[in-house]
Chain A
Amino acid sequence: MNTLILRTVAPVITALMLLFSVFVLLRGHNEPGGGFIGGLIAASALAIFGIAHGPGAVQRAIRFHPMAIAGAGLALAAVSGLVSIAAGVPFMSGLWIYPDILGTEVPLSTVISFDIGVYLVVVGSVTAIALALETEPDGGAGEGEGGG
């Protein structure tokens, strides 16, 4: 599978897919999409990159151990739920603010940060599995272990 064509286009495809995954994540509240789908797209993107350039390259590109990314996502999701303590409403109540950024009203909420958490958990967990499988059992060269 390690063909010249794949190796050449893989970075471009990966970059486009990652961008698309963020787009899908952010538009999810009103259009088809969301954290889960976005996370799967991003994981696929990293899998393609891994098939083309090896798991070591993926690991260097994402800097952190994928399981650490998943852990951060889970923590973010949990914290998004806990923010409601400060507002005195039940756990997981959605809280919204509408700051004015550069003349545009941007709706921000604990719901979107929760969805970002979902995204990170899915990316991290699936990528961790894929990277571990892509790594040759005997060699282990450049295996995604040191990060995090």
Chain B
Amino acid sequence: MAAAAPAWTFIALFLPFLAAILAPFLVSRLGDKAAWIVALAPALSFLHFCGFLPEISAGEVATGGYAWVPSLNLSFSWFIDGLSLTFALLITGIGTLIVIYSGGYLKGHRHLGRFLSFILLFMGAMLGLVVSDSFLMLFVYWELTSIASFLLIGFDHEREAARRAALQALLVTGAGGLSLLAGLVFLWNVTGVTQLSLLVHLGDALRMSPFYLPALFLVLGGAFTKSAQFPFHFWLPNAMEAPTPVSAYLHSATMVKAGVYLLMRLNPVLGGTPAWEILLPFFGGVTLVAGALIGIRQTDLKLMLAYTTMASLGLLTMLTGFGSPHAIEAAVLYLVAHSLFKGALFMVAGAVDHGTGTRELPLLGGLRRAMPITFAAAFLAACSMGGLPLFAGFLAKEEIYAALATGNPRAVFFTAAALVGNALMFAVALAVGLKPFVGEGKQTPLTPHEAPAALWLGPVILAALGLVFGIFSPLLHAYLTSPMASAVIDEPTVITIGAMPHLGLPFGLSLLTVALGILVYLGFDRARALAAQMLEGLGPGPDRWFDYFISGLVRFSAGLVRIIQPGRLEIYITATFIAVAVTLLVPLFLFDELPGMPSWPAGALVQEIAFFVIAALGIVAVLRAADRLTAIVSLGIQGFAVAVIFLLFGAPDLSFTQFMVETLSVVILTLVMTRLRLSVSDHRPPGQILLDGTIAIACGLGFALMLLKAVGTPFDPFMTDFFNTYSKAIAHGANVVNVIIVDFRGTDTLGEIAVVMVTGLAVLALIKLRAGRGAS
């Protein structure tokens, strides 16, 4: 079939990136209408991935890809099973609607093109993330989603709150990304594979490994930061600084679910252990209840939704880690339902903001007449979020209670958490989806008017899908949720739950949830006050800790820099040479590796001894010199003597270079000295002389001992023989030294001359900098 052709899948994966490049040009030509054209890219990707549905629902997987660096076992390869496919369809499907919505929401904004570009960049990254097979690809795309999120949250970069939120999200999810990278390295080292498709079958080996716990903690570090689990949740509500399409898309429907995706993907590998089944439900449960409580407290529609999103992510984590196939099925159903209704509700909040000029709940009322279409979408989405019968949310909630209410004490605890969380979320759903539209009309900044088609199309489609999926649940199960649950559990699974109520404990709990939710909704102001009271009792939240942490880190590094970089050359040089002396001497003494006393060379020629004496005399002259200039020139004497010694012992190239280096060193040192305008002679206090002398002697001793030790070991002539044999034969050169430099190790030399040049540039810059400062 066409969908199976790897080239088409490759194109479908890169279509969003291509559209991201083209979007700004299209917008500058066509204005906000360009969004409809740009939306074709995700729509085409969506259709392509729909082509996989028959294959995947039959229990097969689609793989493909291209080798990238075969010698390092790196490839660009994808792996599409039920889990990946459901995510891919959500990303491209909701993405299409979001692009259209963005065109309407930011109509006339001067950076609409840039915005669409960022959104599509994110879409490409997220799509790549969920189909990645290789670890490297997964990690790169994972980080790319963080970067895209940073750009989008900070889109309105002229406001400080937006900048802070963007940076915070980047730091938190970026740190999580590093943790994930370390976790993947652990998985790779333990199992020896770098592909998720192979890893899935190695779960037993991994769970037996002593590195299981470190790997688990690191992977959870990545997943919990990305999916805003307590105590890393604080970045998500702040991320609501982003324009509403971003909140709807990244921070509710897709990106924040990347952590959940990772947990689901690794469930067959890391799951089923006590650690997994304690950590995930615990942190998920805390996130669920905390998110729902804080959500009730808010008055801004977007913030209310943001906190319920956090609660939903907690619920998903809790279910994924609960440890029964039913819980996984519930998580899968809830994930799909949540993406639909939460995406719709966020877009509704944006449409209400657009139509009235405010998102503050107390200022809104009676909009049903002015905004009937938006109201319809909002109400349908709220019903799904509340889990009323016939809606997709109902399927999820029934399955959740069926999975959790098993009767053992642990389950009772989590059932209670789910009950409280769901009831509060239902109240929020009603507050967002019903309250602004009913009751008395209120005075709003703008006269309420219906949103344009671009703004209601998305919410209407998503909200309607929530109903369609509920009514035609067998279809949903056959194509999306059953294959997805099978992938997460790693066993063929069939979900059967239908949208009609059927009596039993789960239905009873559902009724209780609805009743509680309506109760909270009716007494919303009292509930808000109560929630606020409870939360204030807990003291400053992690958001504040984050600020303390960052400012503490900045102060700490400033203090550290003051200590290790005081800006005085003497201190740097002293530290450097002490380090050299210690590095050379300590191992020699510590491991008893001191060389034996060298014997007096028999048959040393007179001229050889003479040049040794000259070198020694040069050093004495340096120490005895009356002024600095004489000392520098005397240093040259010693250098030239050494160069002659090289020549005498048969190293003409080395000797040659030594001559030139010595000459230039003397010239340049002299020039530097005249430039620094130091006093003519060198006066140091006796203590300083003692210290500097000790360091100098220690360094000299260290080099001497190490060289003696090195030449004392038996010489391995392998390389010498190799170069002597092949220098002329294959490199056409008789001078072995030069042939090594320019041919055998030419790439090294290329690097070295690049260093020479950069050094030249740096010295030039330093001199110019000083000259400039002197002049001003």
Contact = CB atoms under 8 A, between A and B. Distances in A.
Interface of A: 24, 28-37, 40-41, 43-44, 47, 51, 66-67, 70-71, 73-74, 77-78, 81, 91-92, 94, 96, 107, 109, 111, 114-115, 117-118, 121-122, 124-126, 128-130, 132-134, 137-138, 140
B357 interface: no
**At the interface, is chain A mostly helix, strand, loop or mixed?**
helix
A71 B760 CA distance: 11
Interface string B725-764: 0000001111101110111001101100110110111011
Contact of B746 (A73, A81, A124): A81
Contact of B675 (A28, A126, A133): A133
Given A117-B753, A128-B760, A134-B671, A29 B747 contact: no
11 contacts: A30-B733, A32-B653, A33-B656, A37-B653, A44-B663, A77-B753, A78-B750, A107-B732, A111-B733, A124-B760, A130-B668
Contact of B735 (A28, A94, A109, A117): A28
B759 A34 contact: no
Contacts, number: 147
B653 A33 contact: yes
A34 B653 contact: yes
A129 B757 CA distance: 10
B753 A132 contact: no
B203 interface: no
Interface of B: 652-653, 656-657, 660-661, 663-664, 667-668, 671-672, 675, 731-735, 737-739, 741-743, 746-747, 749-750, 753-754, 756-757, 759-761, 763-764, 767-768, 770-771, 774-775
Given A94-B743, A115-B742, A32 B767 contact: no
B657 A36 contact: yes
Given A37-B656, A92-B750, A126 B732 contact: no
A34 B742 contact: yes
A29 B733 contact: yes
B750 A44 contact: no
Given A40-B664, A71-B757, A132-B763, A31 B734 contact: yes
A134 B664 CA distance: 13
B756 A29 contact: no
Nearest to B765: A132
A34 B738 contact: yes
Given A30-B733, A31-B735, A132-B768, 11 more contacts: A28-B738, A31-B734, A34-B735, A36-B741, A44-B664, A73-B757, A111-B731, A118-B749, A124-B760, A129-B763, A133-B672
A77 B757 CA distance: 12
Contacts of A71: 757
Contacts of B667: 44, 47, 51, 130
B527 to A, nearest CB: 69
B757 A32 contact: no
A134 B675 CA distance: 8
B732 A35 contact: no
B251 to A, nearest CB: 46
Centre residue among B656, B667, B741, B760 by max chain A CB count within 10 A: B760
Contacts of A118: 741-742, 749, 753
A43 B664 contact: yes
A106 B761 CA distance: 36
A29 B764 contact: no
Contacts of B737: 32, 34
A140 B774 CA distance: 12
Nearest to B750: A77
Given A77-B753, A114-B746, A125 B759 contact: yes
A74 B754 contact: yes
B774 A32 contact: no
A81 B735 CA distance: 20
Contacts of B757: 67, 70-71, 73-74, 121, 124-125
Contact of A29 (B663, B671, B738, B768): B738
Nearest to B652: A32
A94 B743 CA distance: 6
A78 B754 CA distance: 10
A30 B734 contact: yes
A125 B755 CA distance: 10
Centre residue among B663, B749, B759 by max chain A CB count within 10 A: B749
B771 A137 contact: yes
A94 B767 CA distance: 39
A70 B753 CA distance: 9
B753 A73 contact: yes
Contacts of A140: 771
Q: List the 6 closest pairs (A to B, CB-CB), nearest first.
A: A125-B760, A40-B660, A133-B671, A32-B652, A30-B734, A29-B733
A31 B753 CA distance: 22
Nearest to A77: B750
Contacts of A41: 660
Contacts of B764: 67, 128-129, 132
Nearest to A113: B742
Contact of B732 (A40, A47, A109, A115): A109
Contacts of A132: 763-764, 767-768
B656 A133 contact: no
B739 to A, nearest CB: 7
A141 to B, nearest CB: 13
A94 B738 contact: no
A111 B743 contact: yes
A40 B657 CA distance: 8
